[in-house]
Amino acid sequence: MRKFLEPYTFANGMNVKNRIMLAPMTNFSSDEKGQVTPEELAYYRERSRGAGTVITACANVTAGGKGFPGQIGIDRDELDSSLRELASTIQEEGAKAVVQIYHGGRMSPPDLLPDKQPVSASAVAPVREGAVTPRELTEEEIAHIIKAFGQAAQRAVRAGFDGVEIHGANTYLIQQFFSPHSNRRTDKWGGSVEDRMRFPLAVVKEVLQSVKEAGADETFLIGYRFSPEEKEEPGITMEDTMKLINRLAEEKLDYLHVSVQDFSAGSMRNKEDERSRVEIVQEAVGEKIPVVGVGSLYTPDEAEKAMESGVPFLALGRELIVDPQWVEKVESGREAEIRTELSTEDREKLVVPKPLWKAIVNTPGWFPVAEHKQKSAE
């Protein structure tokens, strides 16, 4: 049997049926109020039959932290019933349901925000064309956002989720506080790498405490996702990340989730450093805390090879969109039938919401799409 099909028991007692997680991928398909839609529920239902754990798309913890149109909301109590429906849809198919919580920070589009003004650790714009300069958060606002992460986690508990994943990756607010590019503060929230860790660690502690106060079962999972490096100068280095993950491993978290596009890829800052970022993380903290690897693992052989690094979990994102039955096909000995690329005619068959499908077909290189390959060959 493939190792990734083996069950796993976390240190807190949570049992999962296999080592495959659905990676958190934005699908742009909630309604304007942040409520899940039937199309979105169908998407999750289809992918919850094989994966042992489903991590939802990121859900914003404040109205000012919304980063995408059609985003799941977890920022107010009136969304409890919507969140409950999402959790139960996933669980009814046999997977554990984990909701990812985050704040978009300077990456939030102004037109999605109540006051049209993105905020961040400092008033430094992202390095991209047309980027808006955010407003620097005040001490009072920082405290409010930390509290909001805890309140979001409590909503997840009330909704019946099996866990939450704190989104400290992909250039959003938590990462913005950790990054020397976006954080130029001179107070206690900025400066040295230890001071830039202060906000991520404050969020972790708030979530841990809030989940306990909400009366969550002791098996409730709390994970943390991070990006190992940044391209920007100054930017997050692997040395910075080693300090962060060693500190995170001391907290009562249940797993760390590495965010990279390719499991085997080396450094984005130093082309001579070709070693897998995931393998480096696993070697550093894997004996202290479970590590989730991810990135371009389209075939069972690729997934099996990735597990040889020692990581106990693999997150599949694009792979489970290309083939929602990826896990079931491995289980039933139909590996040869696994799809590794899309056709633009596949949306309904693959149960992909229209907004996500539009993003896929209009973003060459993001997914392996047969038509994109043909055009590039021509």
Q: Among all chains, which residue has been given the structure tokens 């506080």?
A: 177
How far apart, in whole angstroms, are the C-alpha atoms of residue 85 and residue 35? 10
- What span, in angstroms and rounded, lies between the C-alpha atoms of 273 and 281? 14
Give strand pairing partners of 55. 98
Residue numbers annotated as active site: 172
Residue at token pair 């992202």: 126
Both tokens of residue 192?
């040295």
Cα–Cα distances in angstroms (integers) from residue 90 to residues 55, 230, 321, in the given order? 10, 33, 16
Return d(Cα 164, Cα 102) in angstroms, integer: 10
> Distance between CA atoms of 82 and 361, rounded to whole angstroms?
29
**Which DSSP letter does residue 162 get?**
S
Pair of tokens at residue 289: 């805390």
Please return the burial class of 104, using the count of CB atoms within 10 Å of its CB with bins 0-12, 13-18 and 19+.
Answer: buried
- Positions of the chain with pLDDT lower than 50, given as ranges: 377-378
Rounded Cα–Cα distance for residues 164 and 378 (Å): 45
Tokens representing residue 314 in the block: 């693999």
Count up the domains in the chain and report the number: 1
* pTM, to two decimals: 0.97
Query: Which tokens in the block code for residue 321?
Result: 């969109």
**Considering the domain boundaries, does residue 58 fall inside one?**
yes
Handedness of CA 99, 100, 103, 107 (dihedral sign): negative
pLDDT value of position 1: 86
Task: Look at residue 269 in the predicted model and tell me its pLDDT.
Answer: 97
| pLDDT at position 370 | 85
The three state secondary structure string of 69-99 is CCCEECCCHHHHHHHHHHHHHHHCCCCEEEE
Q: How far apart are CA 344 and CA 360, in angstroms?
A: 9
CA angle 143, 146, 148 (to 5 degrees): 110
Assess if residue 352 is contained within a domain. no
Q: Are 160 and 219 in contact (CB under 8 A)?
A: no
Whether 378 maps to a domain, the answer reads no
pLDDT in the model for residue 78: 98
Omega before 234 cis (within 30°)? yes
Exposed / middle / buried, residue 304 (Cβ in 10 Å: 0-12, 13-18, 19+):
middle
CATH of the domain at 320: 3.20.20.70
Tokens of 274: 């070709």
The predicted pLDDT at position 372 comes to: 60
Task: Please check whether residue 366 lies inside any domain of the structure.
Answer: no
Is residue 203 a part of any domain in this protein?
Answer: yes
Residue 356 domain-assigned (yes or no): no
pLDDT value, residue 313: 98
- Residue 296 forms part of a structural domain: yes
User: Rounded distance, CA 139 to CA 199, Å?
Assistant: 11
Quick check: is 357 in a domain? no
3-state DSSP call for residue 293?
Answer: strand
Distance in angstroms (rounded) separating the CA atoms of residues 318 and 341? 10
Integer Cα distance of 130 and 173 in angstroms: 19
Residue ranges making up the domain that contains 249: 3-340
